[in-house]
Amino acid sequence: MRTLGERKLLFFFTLICLLLLPVIPGQANAGDPTEQVKQTIEKVREIFKDKNLKKPENREKRDELLREVVGKRLDFEEISKRSLARHWRKLTAEQRKEFVSLFSDLLETTYLNKIERSQEEDIEKHEEDKVLYQGERIEGRYASVKTTIVTYKGTEIPVEYRLIKEDGEWKAYDIVIEGVSLVSNYRSQFNRIIHSESYDELVKKLREKTIKEE
């Protein structure tokens, strides 16, 4: 038998836990799209600023961290679906799964290689870059967040994130840089390859590309 004091303590403890419960996840997906995009961008910038991760031997660890942080904010299935467009409907569930993993690998390696190839000093210079948040628009489960990156040189690059809401999290399904959409770019490329060759050929190409780049 517990004493009354102990019981009261236990009761209060559970009560506090219950009260906190909705607050903690609520903070994690803190409401609006801009806030969530900002969180991810800030996390990425922190990774690049981390002195420890800058060491060449920690490159892989940094890549891993970047992959995790950015991957969480991207909806790879939606990106793949939209990039394949009409051809997506003809695929079986298994093929879709395979394609999503191949395409996300391709995107990851393409961008990580770009970082790999640039000099550490150049990356450091870009720590001075500013990101301006220029408003958001929400329409049902879709939203867009407009930002402008002002580089240390003063060049302005408009970047728009197009987001879809999934379980309270806003996830990007397209990124429009300087007016050029990522999905639209891959959509026309994939369409061309599938038409002139075949879907299998496209998968083969993606596979070769991810292996070669690694």
Partner 1 sequence: MKKVDLELAVGFFLLLGILSLAYISIKLGRLELIGGGGYPLYAEFTQAGGIKEGSVVEIAGVQIGRVKSVRLSDYEALVEFTINENVKIQEDAIASIKTKGLIGEKFVQISPGASEEMIPPGGKIRDTESAIDIEELLSKYAFGEV
Shortest gap between Cβ of 85 and partner 1 (angstroms)?
A: 5
Interface pattern 19-58 for partner 1 (x via CB under 8 A): ----------------------------------------
94 binds partner 1 (CB under 8 A): no
Of 150, 184, 199, 213, the one binding partner 1 by CB under 8 A: 184
The number of beta carbons lying within 10 Å of the beta carbon of residue 112 is 19
Helix (H, G, I), strand (E, B) or coil at 194: helix
Q: In whole angstroms, how far apart are CA 202 and each of 27, 103, 175, 197?
A: 41, 11, 22, 8
The C-alpha atoms of residue 190 and residue 184 are separated, in whole angstroms, by 10
Task: Give yes or no for residue 88 binding partner 1 (CB under 8 A).
Answer: yes
Q: How many residues bind partner 1 (CB under 8 A)?
A: 26
Candidates 44, 149, 181, 199; binder of partner 1 (CB under 8 A) is 181
> Does residue 206 touch partner 1 according to CB under 8 A?
no
Local structure of 139: helix, strand or coil: strand
Q: In terms of C-beta distances under 8 Å and separation of at least 24 residues, what long-range contacts does 135-143 make, across chains too? A: 135/34, 136/32, 136/33, 136/34, 138/32, 138/33, 141/165, 143/33, 143/170
CB of 79 to partner 1, least distance (A): 11
Work out which of 85, 100, 106, 150 binds partner 1, going by CB under 8 A: 85
Stretch that binds partner 1, among 19-27, 103-111, 180-188, 196-204 (CB under 8 A): 180-188
Q: Is 95 in the site for partner 1 (CB under 8 A)?
A: no
Q: Do 38 and 46 meet the contact criterion of CB atoms below 8 Å apart? A: no
Q: Show the binding pattern over residues 65-84: x = contacts partner 1 (CB under 8 A), - = does not.
A: ----------------xx-x
Residue 95 φ/ψ region, left for φ over 0, alpha for ψ in the -120 to 50 degree band, beta for the rest: alpha
Contact between 114 and partner 1 per CB under 8 A: no
Q: What are phi and psi of 179, to 5 degrees?
A: 80, 0
Q: Does 93 bind partner 1 (CB under 8 A)?
A: no
User: Tokens 């879907």, residue?
Assistant: 199
Does residue 150 interact with partner 1 by CB under 8 A?
Answer: no
Residue with tokens 């990156």: 149
Which residues sit at the interface with partner 1, rule CB under 8 A?
81-82, 84-89, 139, 142, 153-156, 162, 174, 176, 178-181, 183-184, 187-188, 191
